[in-house]
Each structure stands twice: as C-alpha cells, then as structure tokens.
Amino acid sequence: WSEVEWEVVAITTAGDRDRRSPLEQLGGEGVFVKELESALLDGRIDMAVHSLKDMPTTLPDGLRIAAVPVRDDPREAVISRYASLDELPGGATVGTSSVRRRAQLLALRADLRVVQYRGNLDTRIRKVSSGEGPDAAVVAYAGLVRLGREGDAAWVFDDREFLPAAAQGAIAVEIRASDADVAKLVGAIDDGIARREVVVEREVLRHLGAGCRLPVGVRCLCADGRLSVLAAVFEPSGRDRIVVGIEGFSGTAEKLGETAARRLIEQGALELMRKG
C-alpha cells in the first residue's frame, strides 16, 4: 500500500446535505451511498468506502464489495445525562431516526417519548449533554469509537438484547466489478470473519425485502468455524416482535441468512412490520 499513490475525493451525499429531515423523506435506502456509487460507475473514483449498514442489499450492476475489514463493535450506545435506562424519568425523550431502535426502546420502556433526532455525532452529543436536546439519544457505539468519544456513552446495550442493524460496525470498500487490479489491492484488508457475519445479516434483510430503515434487527457471530444468528422483526410501536435464532457452519453464510428470513416470514414477519 505504501507504494500506491492515493487521492482522497470527498463526496457529499443527500444524507449528509440534509441532517434534519427523516431519512424516509430523503428516499430511505441509499441516501448515504448513491453519489459515491455514481462516481464509481463514471470513473471519477476507483473505490468507495461506506458504512455497510447504510448500503442497500442489492448493488448496482457493475459494482461489488471488494473488502470488509475487521469489524468494529456493533452494539448500540446511549448518550445521556442519566446513567442507565432505568434512571431515565417517566416520559423522558429519547432521540433516534431509526424505527428499529424506536421499537426496541418502547418495548423496554413504553412510557418513553421517542423523537426524530439527526445531525452529525458531535452535535448530537453536545445537545444531549447540555440539555438543549433530548434526555438521551441512541447511536452506534462504533461511531463513538471512531471519533475517540466512547467515553461519552452513558451505557451500551447488550447486542443480543437490543439488536443492532444488519452490518452495523462494519465498513465496506466498494469497487467496479471489472477492476481486477483494485480488487487485488483492496482484498488485502478483507477480514473473513467480518465478511461472513455481514453476509448472513444482509441476507436476512434481502430475503425479507427490508432495508436498513425498517424495524429489523440482526446479529451474527462467527466463531470456531460456526455461525450463530439472532434476528428479529419488530412491530413499530414496540408492542410485539418475532425472533428466530439458528446456527450453521461458516461456509453456509448466505443460506443461513436466507433460512433465518424464511422462518421469520413463516411466523408473520411481513405483516408485523406493516403494523404500528
């Protein structure tokens, strides 16, 4: 890598430009990736680096994910002046733009007022800490770690109790499918464990026909040659959920994700997501 001459091209996406509107109003899936993929396809850049949880499960023709580096902690963290969920007062406001997080919060504390809350992470932390924003906000712990601000987390949820988004904590390097030289270069940072985990998680979403903005949580763990996945679909108000947990061998990642999705569908997952 030291022998390669690099140029970093900064590209602003629709999700970056508008930090106030709900993501669904901006087009939902892909609002943080479309401009980068256009730049790849027209040759302005040779690779794009994404937060993998923001990527649609189906890529544009001519593009592929060439590397998934070692995954960061996928758990959810809470920024708050209060030290725990139990300490939040009755009717406290909790900020998030995610229906998945909203459903799980309300399942834990039906009295909470969950409000739309977007913006860059530093601003969200400042507003919560100063009392200008909500009483708490749910964010990806990996985002705090990458900014060196993990100390701002009041608490971190267990990822088997408060399920993260598919591929949360993972970075993806996307390239043109025909670019063998870039693929060889980028392949050096691909991590097999991270890749298998996110393949399972994204296959669950794909077979549900769900994107990252729908109330689906999933966590896959790869250890000792085996994969275990816990996936859930939530009724948006938090009143109900369907959960499945299965295991399989690491060589069957795509099939395992498909099987988990099929079992969710058999139990009424598609109907549940439409409620609320």
One-letter identity of residue 175: I
Map residue 226 onto helix, strand or coil. Answer: strand
Query: What is the DSSP secondary structure assignment for residue 240, as one 8-state letter?
Result: -
Say whether 54 is catalytic: yes
**Residue in 230, 225, 240 with CA at minimum distance from that of residue 275:** 240
Contact status, residue 93 vs residue 111, Cβ threshold 8 Å: no
Q: Do the beta carbons of residue 159 and residue 75 sit within 8 Å? A: yes
Q: Which of 54, 72, 135, 152 is catalytic?
A: 54
Interatomic CA distance for residues 249 and 205, integer angstroms: 20
Q: Evaluate the CA torsion angle 199, 200, 201, 207 in order and state its sign.
A: positive
Within a 10 A sphere around the Cβ of 66, how many other Cβ atoms?
21
Which sequence positions are flagged as catalytic?
Answer: 54
